[in-house]
Chain A
Amino acid sequence: MPLSVHGLRKSFNGRTVLEGVDFSVAAGELVAFLGANGSGKSTTLRCVMGITAPDSGSISIDGTALETLQGRDLQQVRQRMAMIFQKIHLVPRRTALDNVCAGALSRIPTVRSLSPLLFPADVQQEALDCLDRVGLADRALDRVGRLSGGQQQRVAVARALCQRADVVLADEPVSALDPHAAEQVMALLRELAHAEGLAVAAVLHQPDLALRYADRSIGLLQGSMTFDLPSTEITADHLDTLYAPDRDVSDRKSAA
C-alpha cells in the first residue's frame, strides 16, 4: 500500500479531534473523505503530511513506517506525498511553468533555485510535461494570476506531479471552484489515480462528487470513522449520520 495509517490520534488543548483513525489508500485509487465541518478531515491530512504532529498513530509509505525514520531519510520518504490545498497556494505573479518547477525544488541545488531564470533546463522540461498531463501546456508562460480558479488548481496538481509524488492528498480541492471547474479537477484527480497509478485522497465537501468520482469513501464523525466503503455502497443513511449532528443542533435552536 502506498499509504496506510493506523490509530491516528490528535487533540488540541485537551480536546480530542481524532480518536483513532485507520485507513489506507492503494495505488490507482481515489479515496474521498466526507464529514461535517470540524469532524477532523483536514487534521487527518495535515497529520499524514507532517504539517501537524499527531499525538500517536502510525503512518506508512509503501510499508515503511515514518516514525522509524529520521532526518534526510524521513524527508525523502515524505517527498513522495504532495498536498493540494483549497486555497491553491500558488504564486500569482509567477508563470504556471515557474510555479510547477517549484514542486521540484528539493531536487534543485539552492543556488540554482534563487530565481526561475536559474532553474535547470531538465526541470523546466519536466514541469512542462507535468503541465501537459493536466492539459495546460499551452498556458505554461501565462502568469498564474491570469488563469481561472479551475486552471490554477490544475497547475497546483501539476506542481504535485513535478514533485514526483505518488501519494496526493487534497484538502477540499474543489470547494472554491465553480461546478464546471470542480468536475474538471475531480476528473483529473481520478485520471491520475486510474491511468497513472497514483494514490489519491481528497476531502470533499459535496457527497455527490465523492459518489461519482471516488472509488471509496470514508466518513468521519467527530474524529471517528463511521464507514469506509466502496462509493457504490454508500447510502443516504450513511450520509445522514455524518451530517445529522449539524441538523440536530439547528433543530434544537429553532424549536427552543
Chain B
Amino acid sequence: MTPQILTPAVARRSPSAQTRVALVRPKKPLRWITTAAVAAVVVGLHAVAIEGTDFKPALLVDGWKGMAAFIGDAFPPDLSWEKTIRPGLEATLVTLWIGLLGTTLSVPFALLLAALAAENTSPHRLVYQAARSVLSFFRAVPDIVFALIFVTAVGLGPFAGVLALICHNTGVMGKLWAESMEEIDSGPQEALRTAGANRIQQVANATLPMVVPQFVGLLLYRFDVNVRSSLVLGLVGAGGIGLLINQSIKSFQFDSMLTHILIVLVLIIVVDQFSAWIRRRLAA
C-alpha cells in the first residue's frame, strides 16, 4: 500500500477529522474576585487623591468672575514697542540661548556617560552601574531644582538657567543615547573586535558612527524640550522671557504679560517646526 499523502482538503473530509479537538480553558473562579479587588483599590486611591489635592470643581465655577476679570485686563495685549515688545523679543532670545547652550554644552558629558552606561560599549560592569546611577541622579532632580540651587550660587540670571539645563539634560540625553547605542546592530563592532581593534577603537569606528542619526534626532528633541524648560526656569529667576512674564504678573501688567505669552507661542512653534524639519531630513 502506498502511503497516502494528506492534503488539507483530504483531512477535512476524512472520518478521523470528525473527532474534533476541544479547547479546554482551565476554570478560574477567583478571577472575578481579583478583578473586583483591583477595581476597589484603584477607586480608593482616587478618592484619597481627590481629598489630598483639594480637588473641588465647584471652586472653578465660583471663581469664574476672577478669571474673567484677569483675562479682561489682559486684553488688548500691550503692543507698545519700547515698553513691551522690544524687551519681550530680547528676553525671548535669551530664553532661546539658554535652551541652546543647555543642550549643546551637555553633549560632552552625555556622550561620555552614555558610552559608559551602554552595555555594549561600557568597559566594565561596575563602570556601567556607576554611570547608570549618575545618569539616574541627574535625570531624577528636576531642572527647576537645579536652577534654584544655581541661582543661590551665581545669582539671578540666565547663567543659572544654562547650568541647570546642562545638569538635567546630561541625565536625560545620556540615558536616551545609551539606550539607542544598546539597540544598534552590534555586527560592525564585532567585526572590528575580530580585527584586533581595542574597545575605544571599536566604539569610535563602529558603534558611534552607526548611531549618529539617532543621536542627532534625540539632540534636536532635547533642544525643543529645553527651550520650553528654560521658559519655566525664567519664572524662578533664571533669566529670559519667563522672568519677564513673572515680573509683569507681579506688577499687574496683564496686557504686557499677554504680549509676552504670544511671543513665546511664536518661539515654541518656530523651534518645534525647525527640529521637526531637520529630523525629517535625517530620516530621509
Binding site for B on A (CB under 8 A): 49-51, 75, 78-79, 82-83, 85, 87-91, 93-94, 98, 102-103, 105-106, 108, 110, 113-116, 156, 159-160, 163, 254-256
Contacts and interface: CB of A to CB of B under 8 A. Distances in A.
Contacts of A115: 204
Contact of A255 (B3, B194, B206): B3
Give the residue among A75, A89, A116, A160 with the most B Cβ atoms within 10 A.
A89
Contacts of A89: 187-188, 190-191
Contact of A78 (B188, B196, B213): B196
Contact of B205 (A87, A91, A160): A91
B170 to A, nearest CB: 21
A163 B201 CA distance: 14
B19 interface: no
Nearest to B199: A110
A93 B210 contact: yes
A110 B198 contact: yes
Q: Give the interface size class of chain B.
A: 20 to 34
B192 interface: yes
Nearest to A87: B187
B265 interface: no
18 contacts: A78-B196, A82-B195, A85-B191, A88-B187, A89-B188, A91-B209, A94-B209, A102-B197, A102-B206, A103-B195, A105-B195, A105-B197, A106-B195, A106-B198, A114-B200, A160-B195, A255-B3, A255-B5
A19 B249 CA distance: 81
Given A91-B209, A93-B209, A94-B209, A82 B194 contact: yes
Contacts of B200: 110, 113-114
B212 interface: yes
Nearest to B189: A89
Give the residue among B192, B195, B204, B212 with the most A Cβ atoms within 10 A.
B195
Contacts of A103: 195
**Interface SS of B by simple majority:** helix
B7 to A, nearest CB: 9
Interface string B154-185: 00000000000000000000000000000000
Give the residue among A103, A108, A113 with the most B Cβ atoms within 10 A.
A113
A116 B212 CA distance: 15
Contacts of A93: 209-210, 212-213
Contacts of A91: 188, 205-206, 209-210
A17 B281 CA distance: 47
Nearest to A46: B194
Contacts of B204: 113-115
Given A91-B209, A113-B201, A114-B204, A163 B196 contact: yes
A114 B115 CA distance: 14
A90 B190 CA distance: 10
Given A91-B206, A94-B205, 14 more contacts: A78-B196, A85-B191, A89-B188, A91-B205, A91-B210, A102-B197, A102-B205, A105-B192, A106-B197, A113-B197, A115-B204, A159-B195, A163-B195, A256-B6
B214 to A, nearest CB: 12
Nearest to A76: B196
Contacts of A85: 187, 191
Contacts of A108: 201
Contacts of B188: 89-91
